[in-house]
Structure 1
Amino acid sequence: MPRTLFLIGAASLALALPAAAQEVPEDLTVMPPVSDAYRPSLTSWGEPDLRGSWPINDIADLPVNRPERYGDRFWKTAEEMAAEQGKVDALEEAYEVEDEQSTIGLGHWIEYQAGVRRTSMVVSPADGRLPEWTDEGRRRSALMRSSWLIGQTYDWTDDFDSYDRCITRGFPAAMYPARYNNGLRIFQSPGQVAIVIEMLGTRIIPVGEGGHWPEAVTGWYGSSRGRWVDHNTLEVETTNLTTGASVFSNGTLGVPANNTTPVSEQAKVVERFTMVGPDTITYEMTYEDPVVWTAPFTLRVNWTRDDDYQMFEYACHEGNVQLRGYITSDRARREQEYARGLMLEPVGENAGPPPAMDPAAGGLKRRED
C-alpha cells in the first residue's frame, strides 16, 4: 500500500532541477497568460518535441488550494520567499548528509524542494481555491472507502481505495506530485504521445482525428484524444473515466482529505502541455464535473526538464499483503469488542461495516490532518 510500502517502492534518487524562473508581475494578484513566444524544436515528423523526463518534485511543496494567509495573491512576496530559505537549506542539508554517508532515508524519500513563488496551483477560480462540491458530490464522497478514513471497518478489498490497492492514484491525481516517485517521462511517435508515470501507470494518447470511446467503455485514465494547437501546445481532452478513484490523492498538498473526492460519469478533463522554453513545460488542467463540483476549475504548474532523472520501479501490486493485514486485524479487533460487550453483533464471514461505521449512514469520522 502506498503509505506502508515506501521502502519497497523506492524513491528516485535523482532530484529535479530547480524550477525555471517565473516572471512575477508587479501586481502579485495578477496571473499572466501562458506565453506563446517560444518555438520548440520539432520531431522528425514535424510535431513540437515534448520528449524527455519531467520530474515534478520541484512543485511538490506547492498546494492545490491557496492558503488563506496569501489573500488574493497568486504570488508570494520577496520577504515571504526569504523567510522560507531555512526550509530550503534544511532539505539540501538532508540530501547532502545521506549522500556523504551512503544512506537512504527520509532526506531522499521525501522528494520535494521548497521555494516555489506561486501561492497555489489553482488559477481559476481567481481566489486560488477549488470550488465547493454539490450535494450529490458530498453524498458520493460519503460512500467512498479508503484506508485514510478513521472509524471505517475492513472486510474486503473494496473497503480500500484504488491507491491503497496499487491500481491507480486516479486521474488527474496521477499528474500531480506525491512525496516520492514523482517522475514523468514523455515519449512520442507519429500520431501518439505516451506519458510514463513513475507511480502507477502509463497514458497512451492518440493525437489527431478521431473520437472518444463508446459511452459504456471507461478506463482509469479515461479516453484521451490530443491535438496540436498554436505552435507549441499539445491539447488533450479526456472523458470516459472509470468512477471509484479519487480526483486528487493524499500526498499532494492542499487537496480534499481522505482520497474520497468522487469522479462521476460526466467528468471531463482538458490538459494543455505548452513548451515555454527548452527545459520548461507549462501544464494546465481544466476539470469539469457538474455532478460533483459546483463549477469547473483550472490548475497550472511548470514542469522542469531533468533528463538525468532515474525512474525506479514502484513495487506496489494489487495482491498487496497489507490488505489482508488490515482485514484480519480489524476483524480480530471487532471480535474482541464483541466479547467485551462493546459490539451488538459478532463478526460473520461476510461481515460489512456496522451501521455506526457505515459511510452511507453518515456516522464516519474523517481525518482532519
Structure 2
Amino acid sequence: MHRSLPAIAALALLSTTALAQQTSDTPSDLTVLPPISEEYQPALTPWGEPDFRGVWPIDHLNSRTPLERDPQYGERIFLSDAEFAEQAERVQTLGARRENEDSADQLGQGHWTELGSPNRRTSFIVSPANGRLPAKTAEGERRSDLMRSSWRQGQDFDIWTDFDSWDRCITRGLPASMLPMMYNNGIRIFQAPGLVAIQLEMIHETRIIPTDGSAGVATAIDNLMGVSRGAWEDENTLVVTTDNFAPGPSATNIVTTGSPPANDTPVSTEARLVERFHMTGPDTIIYEMTWEDPVIFTAPWSVRLDWQRDDEYQFFEYACHEGNVQIRNYITASRAARAAGE
C-alpha cells in the first residue's frame, strides 16, 4: 500500500488547461468535454518513439468522483460552481480523517484511504451520454448471477471458487486495474524498442504491450488481463487494443468509487478494450478507454481520465492479505455461522 497520504491539493496548483477545466474553472458548457489538444509533441526516446516513460499515479482521482453518474446530473459532465464547492468541502472533511484519528489515538479509514483532489467531473464514464453503464444482456445478467465474491453481500463461503480473482490476490482484471480506487493507484510506464510496459502498483502486475506491429496471438491463448497490442498514432498518442480475455471472475467495477456495489460484472471471451494515451504536455496525459463486451453489455461504454506525472511517487508492497490466510478464515467463519444457525 502506498502509505504517504496525498494532501488535498490547492486548486491553484492544478495548472494545466485540461485539469483546470475539471477543477477550479467553470466550463462554458457543462455537458461537453473539452477537445483533446494534438499540439504537444513529446520528446522522443533514443530509438525514435514518443517518450511516455515515467510515473503516472491516478491517486489524485480518488476524490469522490464516481465511475457512474448520479442520475440527478442527467447528461452534465461537470458540476456547477455550487456543486463543486460542496464536493470540495466533502473532500476536505474526508481528508482530515487521518489527523482526527491520530488525535483520538485511533486507526480507521483515514489511515487506509488515499484521498486525492476534488474535481468537477460528475462521472468518469463519458459514454453513454448519461454517464452510466449500459444495461446488461440477458446472458450478462445470467452470468452475473453466477458470480461469487467477498464484495457481494449476504453470500456464504464454502470453497475457493466462492471468491473472485482479486479476493485471491491474482488480478484486479481489466479495465478495473486502470481505474482509481482507495489505495495503490501507482502506474509506471517503461519503454524499449517496439515495446511498452505498464506497471501497476495494485498486485504489482505489469502489462507487456508490443508496439512493433507484430501479429496478435491465437484466440485459444487467453489471459485474465487479456493480450495487448499497441501502435503509435500521430506524434503524441499511444493506442492499445486488448482482447483474448479469459472468462472468469474478473470484474470491471470492483471498489471503484461510484460503481455498482457488488462484483457483478463478468468478462466474456468477446470482450475488447481500446485505450488511447494522449500526451498533452510534459506532465499530462489524457487517458481514454472503451470497453466492449457484446455478450455482457447491450452497448460499449467509455471512460476519460486526466493523468498527472509524479516521478516522486513510490510503489509499495501490495501484501493483499498477510499470510494468505483470509480465504480460509472466511470459509471457516461462514461454516461456523451456518452451523450455529446464524
Could you tell me the TM-score, scaled by structure 2's length? 0.89
Counterpart code for 1:154? F
- 2:3 counterpart residue number: 12
Q: Percent identity?
A: 52
- 2:138 counterpart residue number: 135
How large is the RMSD of aligned CA atoms in angstroms? Answer: 2.4
| 1:256–1:88 Cα change, 3 Å | closer
Indicate yes or no: 2:80 matched with 1:77: yes
Output aligned runs, 1:160-239, within 5 Å.
160-200=163-203, 201-239=205-243
| 1:258–1:318 Cα change, 3 Å | farther
Output aligned runs, 1:103-118, within 5 Å.
106-118=109-121
1:12, 1:310 within 8 Å by CA — same for their partners in 2? no
Q: In structure 1, the residue corresponding to 2:28 is in which secondary structure?
A: coil
How far apart are 1:211 and its partner, in Å?
2.1
How far apart are 1:281 and its partner, in Å?
0.8
Counterpart code for 1:106? Q
Query: d(CA) in 2 for partners of 1:318 and 1:220?
Result: 23
1:133, 1:292 within 8 Å by CA — same for their partners in 2? yes
From 23, 26, 33, the equivalent of 1:31 is: 33
Counterpart code for 1:272? R
- Bigger Cα Rg: 1
| 1:228–1:103 Cα change, 3 Å | farther
Q: In structure 2, the residue corresponding to 1:237 is in which secondary structure?
A: strand
Indicate yes or no: 2:271 matched with 1:267: yes
How far apart are 1:14 and its partner, in Å?
5.6
Q: In structure 1, the residue corresponding to 2:262 is in which secondary structure?
A: helix
1:215, 1:240 within 8 Å by CA — same for their partners in 2? yes
Counterpart code for 1:22? A
2:227, 2:244 within 8 Å by CA — same for their partners in 1? yes
1:53, 1:183 within 8 Å by CA — same for their partners in 2? yes
Q: In structure 2, the residue corresponding to 1:257 is in which secondary structure?
A: coil
2:125, 2:131 within 8 Å by CA — same for their partners in 1? yes
Indicate yes or no: 2:296 matched with 1:305: no
Gaps of 5+ in 1: 1-9, 343-369
2:186, 2:315 within 8 Å by CA — same for their partners in 1? yes
How far apart are 1:88 and its partner, in Å?
3.5
Query: d(CA) in 2 for partners of 1:103 and 1:276?
Result: 43
How far apart are 1:241 and its partner, in Å?
0.8
Q: In structure 2, the residue corresponding to 1:30 is in which secondary structure?
A: coil
| 1:167–1:320 Cα change, 3 Å | same
The Cα offsets for residues 14-49 of structure 1, whole Å up to 9 and x where unpaired, read as 638765523354111112332212111111111111
Query: d(CA) in 2 for partners of 1:292 and 1:318?
Result: 34
How far apart are 1:131 and its partner, in Å?
0.8
Indicate yes or no: 2:287 matched with 1:283: yes
Number of positions where the alignment pairs a residue of Structure 1 with one of Structure 2: 329
- 2:330 counterpart residue number: 326
| 1:160–1:290 Cα change, 3 Å | same
| 1:305–1:97 Cα change, 3 Å | farther
Q: In structure 1, the residue corresponding to 2:69 is in which secondary structure?
A: coil
How far apart are 1:318 and its partner, in Å?
10
Query: d(CA) in 2 for partners of 1:202 and 1:134?
Result: 31
Output aligned runs, 1:56-71, within 5 Å.
56-60=58-62, 61-71=64-74
Counterpart code for 1:134? T
How far apart are 1:97 and its partner, in Å?
6.8
Q: In structure 1, the residue corresponding to 2:331 is in which secondary structure?
A: helix
1:45, 1:190 within 8 Å by CA — same for their partners in 2? yes
How far apart are 1:73 and its partner, in Å?
0.8
1:170, 1:249 within 8 Å by CA — same for their partners in 2? no
2:55, 2:310 within 8 Å by CA — same for their partners in 1? yes
Counterpart code for 1:56? I
- 1:243 counterpart residue number: 247
- 2:161 counterpart residue number: 158
1:148, 1:259 within 8 Å by CA — same for their partners in 2? yes
How far apart are 1:335 and its partner, in Å?
2.5
